């Protein structure tokens, strides 16, 4: 009953990944804890303005787990169409799923 009511009030969640975001999967290099974060390209990306008037995007994320105090730093660069151009991670590793 509550599921039906919730679905009517808030709508159903799509089973596929929305086109305006992606999942960022990382593992801590010290304790092995894994993280699955959803990155919303419309809300989570910062903007870089260039002299020629173009705009590119970036993501800077710091992740701290529950198991240890290791800080995982993720830096990503995106082009004008918000397509990933580069990625860098410190104190962790990217996980492909």
The pTM assigned to this predicted structure is: 0.76
Confidence of residue 29 (pLDDT cuts 50, 70, 90): very high
Mark 4-41 as b/e (b = at least 16 C-beta within 10 Å). eeeeeeeeeeeeeeeeebeebebbbeeeebebeeebeb
Condensed to tens digits (0 to 9), the pLDDT of residues 35-84 reads 999 999 999 999 999 999 999 999 999 999 888 889 999 999 999 999 99
**pLDDT greater than 80 at residue 1:** no
**For residue 37, what are the contacts with CB-CB under 8 A and spacing of at least 6?**
23, 24, 25, 26, 61, 63
């Amino acid at each position: 009953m509550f599921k039906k009511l919730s679905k009517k009030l808030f709508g159903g969640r799509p089973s596929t990944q929305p086109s305006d975001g992606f999942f960022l999967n990382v593992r801590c290099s010290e304790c092995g804890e894994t993280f699955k974060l959803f990155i919303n390209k419309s809300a989570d990306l910062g903007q870089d303005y260039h002299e020629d008037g173009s705009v590119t995007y970036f993501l800077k994320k710091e992740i701290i787990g529950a198991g240890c105090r290791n800080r995982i730093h993720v830096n990503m660069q995106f082009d004008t169409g918000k397509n990933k151009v580069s990625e860098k991670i410190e104190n962790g590793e990217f996980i492909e799923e």
